[in-house]
A and B are shown apart, each in its own frame.
Chain A
Amino acid sequence: MTEPLTTAAPPGAVSQADPGPPSLVAVPAPPRRVLPRRHPGRWITTAVVLVLVAQVLHGLVTNRFFAWDRFAYWSVRPVILDGLLITLEVTALAAVLGLLGGIALALARLSANPVLRAASWTYVWLFRSVPLIVVLLFLYNFSALYHTLSLGIPFGPAFVRFDESRLASDLVIAVVGLSLNEAAYAAKVVRAGILSVDQGQHEAAAALGLPKGYQFGRIVFPQALRAIVPSYVNQLIGLVKGTSLVFYVSLLDLFGSVQSMGSTYPGDIVPLLLVATAWYVLLTSVVSVVQFYVERHFSRGALRTLPPTPLRKARANLRALRARIAREAAI
């Protein structure tokens, strides 16, 4: 394929076919291989960054303060893994409940009913204004404020009555608090997503006489998800880390376990914090990978061709590299 270049005509030869208009620039020799521009700056910055990285790694490995043997010991201790499990549980429950709450709030905000709209707006305003830790501590002390929770007519008879102290385990408090908070943010994300769907889609669905639930569930929401997923995943990553606050309502999540082990074994606090770091990094990385595939799924139809998966991208890069080497060798 690179034949024409290597078999270039000798200087002064006239090409066989139409020579075209005479060149405006006097070219002394026929075209030879073009050498790409060199980038010495890139080499220098690369070297600087590599040196810095090497220094950091060296420090991490050789500084006895990090106590990597203790890190290895703690990272899979049952007490830590139990904490990790609590973190996963709380995150998953709050993510799902928060999203459902967010969808409900977004629909209320977009409804024609002014009372629903105002209620939704007030909720979001309130829960975005109050720090999560305050919400959690409020809930924690809730049983002191209200001994029983009852569902009924205000100032009238109650239909159902719960004993607060029995209902509210630490896990329930944590999940409820995080979900309440999460729903307020999710509401914004979901609302923006729904509004991003073209008005023509609503009209087409209505004109076809599709049932209301189908219109939302199968036509509008799947298209809204394309806009919702990236923002909601951001939210979710915040949530994974936000769960570390449940320690303050005496729930031993990953961070809580690390904290309590740290006060029992003060000498191991740094490796313990490294253990927490490693697990949180792993969790958010998994979320990011899942995000890529979920986004790819929901861009079906929106893009003419789907973005390549990392594996395909790597293969394509490899192919390109091989082709380049072959080309260089041929010249």
Chain B
Amino acid sequence: MTTVTEERAAAGVEVRDVHKWYGTHHVLDGVSLTVRPGEVTAVIGPSGSGKSTLLRVINHLERPESGHVSVGGELVGVRRHGDRLKELGERALLTQRGRIGFVFQNFNLFPHLTVLDNVAAAPVATGRLRKPAARELARTLLGQVGLADKSTAYPRQLSGGQQQRVAIARALALRPGVILFDEPTSALDPELVGEVLDVVKDLAGSGTTLVIVTHEIGFAREVADRVVFLDRGRVVEQGTPAQVLDDPREGRTREFLSRVL
């Protein structure tokens, strides 16, 4: 398979001492994380541990109260202002978001657009491609996720697994340097999980940087270069799948794994 990110090199992700509160709830309590370009990182942990928030901080859907994130060596959502960080304007932020793909748990496809237009919309709207070129690209990407024949369908006419594959094609259309997956299979019927994981596996093999929040421990073991275990807003343990999943050092990791495996 030709890689789908050939136009933009895989980017690394750097998360430095990020803190995030929801009211009085300290969701992220000094999280630091390094993802090297082309690496696949799986983030696991109990629900409420801050996994999704971490992902949403990386593309600045959530603004952290302190700490910073950089993707491909560029600060995300903020710029340096003396010794402080200042939040970017809307336009600059939106430009940055185009370099970071995001796949949601609930797909969030645009229901009023056809599958093809869902994928082609962003490159056109952001001025990267003209409409015919964007549609051509969309057809190619839909082919890569195995949905070439569904381009004229509307999202609600598809199964959950098909919708999530369209969502992945939509994220790929902007040629992102990194793709963030927020529990991509949690909303799917069990028999549909495999088709989505296969597409993610293809991406992992093609050298795209992926950060995947997941409950599929088996999948994490198979595709991840590194596994990060998050609990109560802190990184408890990280390392290769063999280290973290098969031989965890921390008691909390062991406890969590014994409950999900």
Task: Spell out A's residues near B (CB within 8 Å).
Answer: 198, 200-201, 203-212, 214, 218-219, 222-223, 298, 300-304
Contacts and interface: CB of A to CB of B under 8 A. Distances in A.
A288 B31 CA distance: 58
B170 to A, nearest CB: 7
A200 B112 contact: no
B174 A209 contact: yes
A302 B111 contact: yes
Contact of A212 (B94, B106, B121, B157): B94
Interface residues of B, number: 31
Given A203-B104, A207-B59, A212 B90 contact: yes
B66 interface: no
Interface stretch (B17-25, B95-103, B251-259): B95-103
B108 A211 contact: no
A125 to B, nearest CB: 31
A301 B112 contact: yes
Given A201-B110, A212-B94, A301-B155, A207 B102 contact: yes
12 contacts: A200-B106, A203-B108, A204-B108, A204-B110, A205-B110, A207-B97, A208-B171, A209-B98, A209-B174, A218-B125, A301-B155, A301-B156
A200 B102 CA distance: 12
B133 interface: no
A218 B125 CA distance: 10
Nearest to A199: B108
A304 B158 CA distance: 10
Contacts of B95: 209
Contacts of B126: 208-211
A208 B170 contact: yes
B112 A209 contact: no
Interface of B: 59, 61, 90-91, 94-98, 100, 102, 104, 106, 108-114, 121-122, 125-126, 154-157, 170-171, 174
Interface majority SS (helix, strand, loop, mixed), chain A? helix
B98 A219 contact: no
B97 A208 contact: yes
A209 B97 contact: yes
B97 A206 contact: yes
Contact of A206 (B61, B121, B170): B61
B94 A203 contact: no
Contacts of B155: 301
A219 B110 contact: yes
A330 B94 CA distance: 68
A329 B97 CA distance: 68
Given A201-B108, A301-B113, 10 more contacts: A204-B108, A204-B110, A205-B110, A208-B98, A208-B126, A208-B170, A212-B90, A218-B125, A302-B112, A304-B156
B109 to A, nearest CB: 8
Given A207-B61, A209-B126, A214-B125, A223 B98 contact: no
Contacts of A218: 121, 125
B112 A300 contact: yes
B93 to A, nearest CB: 8
B187 to A, nearest CB: 11
A208 B122 contact: yes
Contacts of A222: 112
Contact of A204 (B91, B104, B174): B104
Contact of B156 (A203, A205, A214, A302): A302
